[in-house]
Structure 1
Amino acid sequence: MITSGVGARSDVELRLPADGAYAAVLRTLTAGLAARLDFTMDDIEDLRIAVSEATAMVLDEADSGTDLVCQFRLEPGELRLECSAASESPSTPDYDSFGWQVLTTLTTDASVDAAPGHYAVRLALRSSLDQQ
């Protein structure tokens, strides 16, 4: 779903099988949405890497046969993303892991929701042009 218009917020949701083979689709969509917000090439590459890490974290926790649901919220100069999947008993994320360090370095904000039945990674990145 894409909603647009003067002053309107844009939201996009993508639902894919929870399988790493579809990660490239998610990275491509993320790059396209960031380009729509006039993010720099460096910002877009940071997002691609962060989305890869977030997707890997969610896929590791996803129950077999479930969907990977990715919700994007586009605002002027900022892209927010939540990747989630059903997970009967998700484990607590390793905040000392390389993947988590990548997420927190490349994004403005990153968090994990590891509630029973649901595992989600949330990211936000502000355009570097807006931070100058």
Structure 2
Amino acid sequence: MGAAEAIEPDSAPTPPLIELRVDAEPTQLGVVRAVAGTIAAQADFDLDTIADIRLAVDEAASYLVVRAVPGSQLWCMFRNTGNVLAIAVSAATTGEDQSLRQSFGWHVLNTLTDYVELRHDPTGRTIVEFSLFRDPVS
């Protein structure tokens, strides 16, 4: 008789986190878009959705770069869980600013993603998080 081994929830493998840090400068937005597109392609999203992901990342990053503390970095984190691509873009900003929620960029983020949230953490970072769900292949 063979041995059985249980996988405990705490020891189950988690999808890898891909992290990109660049200077919070407009000149770095092309790099952020390119990395987002590559990760989306590797996650098997279709071409239209890859373009949407690139645009959503660009909107979030552009909003943060404009408000970033001079000399700070823009952090982009990507996690592909198979059905969901979760993305967080953050930067140290000059204060709590909710103007994104009233902007065309927020409308774009809401239209292109399945989930979006804007928050500020106690360290002075502003975080834009969003997710896209990939339809399972039939």
Change over 3 Å in CA distance of 1:84–1:94 after alignment to 2: closer
Larger CA deviation: 15-24 vs 94-103? 94-103
Q: d(CA) in 1 for partners of 2:136 and 2:67?
A: 34
| Match of residue 105 from structure 1 | 111
| Match of residue 131 from structure 2 | 124
For residue 93 of structure 1, report the CA deviation from its aligned partner. Answer: 3.0
| Match of residue 33 from structure 1 | 39
Q: Is contact 2:63–2:100 with CA below 8 Å preserved after alignment?
A: no
Larger CA deviation: 80-89 vs 11-20? 80-89
Structure 2 length-normalised TM: 0.83
| Match of residue 4 from structure 1 | none
Q: d(CA) in 1 for partners of 2:47 and 2:63?
A: 25
| Match of residue 16 from structure 2 | 10
SS across alignment from 1:110 = strand
SS across alignment from 2:102 = coil
Change over 3 Å in CA distance of 1:44–1:65 after alignment to 2: same
SS across alignment from 2:36 = helix
For residue 58 of structure 1, report the CA deviation from its aligned partner. Answer: 1.1
For residue 74 of structure 1, report the CA deviation from its aligned partner. Answer: 1.1
SS across alignment from 2:98 = coil
Structure 2 unaligned runs (5+)? 1-12
Structure 1 length-normalised TM: 0.87
For residue 8 of structure 1, report the CA deviation from its aligned partner. Answer: 4.9
For residue 131 of structure 1, report the CA deviation from its aligned partner. Answer: 8.8
* Aligned-CA RMSD value: 1.8
Change over 3 Å in CA distance of 1:131–1:105 after alignment to 2: farther
For residue 96 of structure 1, report the CA deviation from its aligned partner. Answer: 2.6
| Match of residue 53 from structure 2 | 47
Q: Is contact 1:39–1:77 with CA below 8 Å preserved after alignment?
A: no
For residue 10 of structure 1, report the CA deviation from its aligned partner. Answer: 1.9
